[in-house]
A and B are shown apart, each in its own frame.
Chain A
Amino acid sequence: MKPLFTKRPSPNIGLIVFVFASLVLLACEQQALLNPFREMLASVVYPLQQLVSSPTQAVRKFGETFSSRIELLAENEELRREQLLQSAKLTKFAALEQENLRLRGLLDTSFKLGEQVMIAELLAVNLVPYEQVVVVNKGSRFGVYPGQLVMDAHGVVGQVLRVNSLSSEIILITDPNHAIPVQVNRNGLRTIAQGTGQVDRLSLPFLSSNADIQAGDLLVTSGLGGVFPQGYPVATVVAVSGTDNAFAKFAAAPVAKLDLNRELLLVWNKPDPIPRVPDLGSIPKESAGSHAAK
């Protein structure tokens, strides 16, 4: 039996020191002074995240290995059909892209195009219940940077919040603290879509009740704000209510499959716009002249 009062610890000074240290850390983090320190701690935690994530991944791998031949054939067929459709669309898109560039060249507007992507895999870890932040297995070692656009095959998923050397945290567009500048694809009406905390719902709080918007409208990124490049699909408007009074409510559903994804695309948005007029020879002389006259 240990005597009760032999080694009474005296934690008073300790408390002051550690509370002070915490406050200093909090203050320093505002200016992002501690990124190396944070990365060091993150490399301690990373094996844990991998460990927690591995059973889920193992189950998935197991399922892939033992899925039946018929299923695989069906999936293969499906993918081939999709591929055919996509490539047909893409050939048309290439022509449209060239035309778009020429027209934009004539209008003398800058236009960013040509993005690079990388696939990142989600780690199956939950962070905090009241935030929608996920962890992926690509970090600054792969050139990931904060604010980077993250999407899946269907649309925008979110942006990179914080980068460690081997992993990074991604905030989803449905996080209550996240807002994304969008425009209605049909008529170019610009607004901002805010997260609600529900994985299938965005709110559009800054619209007047007589705004030209209806259920089914596609919202794409507007490129304002400079974080998200222009023209990526974000959400479709699902509910418009109360347009007869001043308190209209608009809700949209993200087009990305936010809760089903295992793989995400990290998009590099090239900082310098590509040449506006790709091929000068193909443009008629008189339009080039009028362009110069402007």
Chain B
Amino acid sequence: MRQNNSTTRLVVLASLLVAMVLRIVPLPMELFVYNPDWVLLFLIYWAIAIPERVGIGYAWVMGLLSDVLTGRLLGQHALAYSVVVFVCVKLHTRLRSYSLYQQVLGVLLLLLVNQVLVFWAQNIKSSNSLGFIDWLPSFIGALVWPFILKVLRWVRRTYHIV
């Protein structure tokens, strides 16, 4: 079993290395525009196939390496990959049972989510507005949640809204 574990890890890591090579392979510019995010595609496969082995931790580390590999801010791909792989791990039974064309659509959706997140983080860089204070509304919102829950539950029960 131990042997099996280490082989699995080796194979997964080797495949991800191949994906990273494909990511930066020197195609001519016209073709390079079409070069997809191989690292994420490989991660999605492993996350659906063996979700108990390849999870968000893998995704996060691979994201950091992709950030450095493609010259992004640290954390852009890490963030996007974690979210996408989380969805894959969560829904892996469903995704496995999809027919091929449904899987294609699912993967398309995941890749788009990834790209939106990466672009979003990129724009934060240019607008230079990611201070800690900018995140405070979310934190305060989370702190306020228990009160909202209590109050609105009281309102609902008072007026017998079922």
**A residues adjacent to B (C-beta < 8 A):** 4, 7-9, 11, 14-15, 18-19, 21-30, 34, 37-38, 41-42, 44-45, 48-49, 51-53, 56, 124-129, 131, 133, 135, 161-162, 169, 177, 199, 259
> Inside 8 A of B93's CB, which chain A residues have their CB?
4
- Verify A18–B25 contact, CB threshold 8 A: no
Residues of B42-77 whose CB lies within 8 A of A: 51-52, 55-57, 59-60, 63-65, 67-76
B149 within 8 A of A: no
Sampled A-B contacts (21; CB under 8 Å)? A9-B52, A9-B89, A11-B89, A18-B57, A18-B60, A21-B60, A23-B75, A24-B75, A25-B74, A26-B73, A26-B75, A26-B124, A30-B125, A30-B131, A41-B74, A44-B65, A48-B20, A49-B69, A52-B21, A125-B25, A131-B71
Q: How far is the CB of B26 from chain A (nearest CB, A)?
A: 4
- Verify B26–A23 contact, CB threshold 8 A: no
**How many positions in chain B have a CB within 8 Å of any CB in the partner chain?**
48
Given A15-B83, A169-B71, A177-B126; A27-B131 close (CB under 8 Å)? yes
- Verify A51–B78 contact, CB threshold 8 A: no
- Verify A23–B21 contact, CB threshold 8 A: no
- Verify A45–B68 contact, CB threshold 8 A: yes
Partner of A48, one of B17, B56, B64, B71: B17
Known: A29-B75, A129-B29. 10 other contacts (CB 8 A): A18-B57, A18-B79, A21-B75, A24-B75, A26-B73, A28-B74, A34-B74, A49-B69, A126-B27, A128-B70
**B residues adjacent to A (C-beta < 8 A):** 17, 20-21, 24-27, 29, 32-33, 35, 51-52, 55-57, 59-60, 63-65, 67-76, 78-79, 82-83, 86, 89-90, 93, 121, 124-126, 128, 130-132, 135
Q: 4 closest Cβ contacts across the A-B interface?
A: A25-B75, A22-B79, A124-B26, A26-B75
- Verify A14–B57 contact, CB threshold 8 A: yes
Q: How far is the CB of A57 from chain B (nearest CB, A)?
A: 10
Q: What is the predominant secondary structure among interface residues of chain B facing chain A?
A: helix
> Inside 8 A of A26's CB, which chain B residues have their CB?
73-76, 79, 121, 124, 130
Partner of A162, one of B60, B64, B71: B71
Given A19-B82, A126-B32; A29-B71 close (CB under 8 Å)? no
> Inside 8 A of A8's CB, which chain B residues have their CB?
52
> Inside 8 A of A4's CB, which chain B residues have their CB?
93
Given A9-B51, A41-B64; A30-B21 close (CB under 8 Å)? no
Nearest-neighbor residue (CB-CB) of B126 within chain A? A177
Q: How far is the CB of A7 from chain B (nearest CB, A)?
A: 5
Nearest-neighbor residue (CB-CB) of A37 within chain B? B74
Give A246 to B90 CA distance when docked, in angstroms.
58
Q: Which of B63, B82, B89, B121 has the most CB of A within 10 A?
A: B82
> Inside 8 A of A23's CB, which chain B residues have their CB?
75, 79, 135
> Inside 8 A of A7's CB, which chain B residues have their CB?
52
Give A36 to B78 CA distance when docked, in angstroms.
18
Give A89 to B9 CA distance when docked, in angstroms.
63
Nearest-neighbor residue (CB-CB) of B20 within chain A? A48
Nearest-neighbor residue (CB-CB) of B96 within chain A? A4
Give A45 to B24 CA distance when docked, in angstroms.
11
